Amino acid sequence: MPWKEMTPMSQRKDFVSLALTDGANMARLCRRFEISRKIGYKWLSRYRQGGEAGLKDRSRRPHHSPGETPEEMVAAVLSMRAAHPAWGGRKIRARLRAENLAGVPAASTITEILRRHGLLDPEESAKHKAWQRFEAAAPNDLWQMAFKGDFEAAAGRCHPLTILDDHSRYVLGLEACGDERRETVQQRLTGIFRRYGLPRRMLMDNGPPWGTEGQAEYSGLTVWLLRLGVGVSHSRVSHPQTLGKDERFHRTLKAEVLQYCRGLDLERCQARLDTWRQVYNLERPHEALGLAAPVSRYRESTRNFPETLPPLEYGPADIVRQVYATGRISFHNRSFRVGKAFRGESVALRPTITDGLWEVFFAEHRIARINLREPAEAE
């Protein structure tokens, strides 16, 4: 199947960036990008010979001789700033150096150039403070997922869905959705899982479609993730900062691209998001990564998306129960709540070392505990 027509250059850059990572599996990558290995190796060879110019014709800035910030370098700084209005001196310097330009000045000099040309807002600069957050140990250990509000589109509203790898800050998904329903999210996640593989765990907030009315409970979407073997975590109720990286990413997303998507139809909005996602992943220097781009730390997952799920199987010592339509199970002549999201599914009960305390598992995930020594709860 050929490259998608909408953004062929983005597809090629994304493919090449992942193919060049240590331990990349070329056959698996080609399957996920829906191209033959012959095509994959062709684009990889062209990139190695000519860089991005080998993927698409593009103008290259000339090298400059050393000097007192020559006019050509000032023009390069202003051009980079025009292309990325939210970038400051350090990011612009890192990107210019990545393009192998000679005589790139210090970040402070670039900041002064921006200030001299009236391109810095002191009040806005004061808002940009570093966020200190926990970081997953390896790529695909944890993905963060959230909606970035919504805004008026050409018809209806656009709900940007963001999916970010916690370790590398690599953006797996940036989707212009027409709603926030489970079916929409599941469809978009399926495409992302096919492309990049499965994470070990996903972190999200407590609202629909991954929570239930603001509670950190399971929903149809999160049960689907558990069935795929993806662990599910929720941010603390009323504490959005738990999703710190995604929240910080949303600030960048709003400043650099969303403000230019208002009023567009979803297709044109998606095209802008696709183009910006490539810049963010492959070019944009990231402060938390030592001004490297996220692709420098991302590796595709080795866990393939299963197109067909095998039947659930539990161990011979497990006590298996079917979840009723009410979201409850029957055990020891009593009824215990598991959650309506699991209705129709089978779960396994396993005793703990504490007398009367049992753990409830769905697939390999513990989803609840029941205590036979506590009074029965009202149904």
Residue-level pLDDT at 6: 45
The pLDDT tens digits of the residues spanning 71-83 come to 888 888 888 888 8
Same domain, 281 and 325: no
In this predicted structure, the answer to whether residue 295 has a pLDDT above a threshold of 80 is yes
Residue 224: give the domain boundaries: 143-296
Same domain, 210 and 348: no
Same domain, 205 and 100: no
Q: Is the pTM of this model over 0.85?
A: no
Secondary structure in 3-state letters for 333-366: CEEEECCHHHCCCEEEEEECCCCCEEEEEECCEE
Work out the percent of the chain whose per-residue pLDDT is above 70.
86
In this predicted structure, the answer to whether residue 224 has a pLDDT above a threshold of 90 is yes
Same domain, 166 and 290: yes
Same domain, 170 and 203: yes
Secondary structure in 3-state letters for 104-137: CCCHHHHHHHHHHCCCCCHHHHHHCCCCCCCCCC
Q: Please, is 17 exposed, middle or buried when counting C-beta atoms within 10 Å of its C-beta (0-12, 13-18, 19+)?
A: buried
Q: Is residue 309 part of a domain?
A: no
Q: How many degrees, rounded to 5, is the angle at CA 158 between CA 185 and CA 235? A: 50
Q: Is residue 30 part of a domain?
A: yes
Helix residue ranges per DSSP H, 61-181:
71-83, 89-98, 107-116, 122-127
Residue-level pLDDT at 65: 43
DSSP character for 266? H
- CATH code of residue 104: 1.10.10
Number of structural domains in the chain = 4
In this predicted structure, the answer to whether residue 60 has a pLDDT above a threshold of 70 is no
Q: How far apart are CA 181 and CA 164, in angstroms?
A: 20
Asked whether 309 and 345 are in contact (CB, 8 A), the reply is: no
- CATH code of residue 177: 3.30.420.10
Distance of CA 35 to the CA centre of its chain: 23
Average pLDDT of the chain?
Answer: 83
Q: Which residue has the higher pLDDT, 124 or 140?
A: 140
Q: Is residue 308 part of a domain?
A: no
Residue-level pLDDT at 252: 84
In this predicted structure, the answer to whether residue 238 has a pLDDT above a threshold of 60 is no
What does the pLDDT average to over 243-254?
78
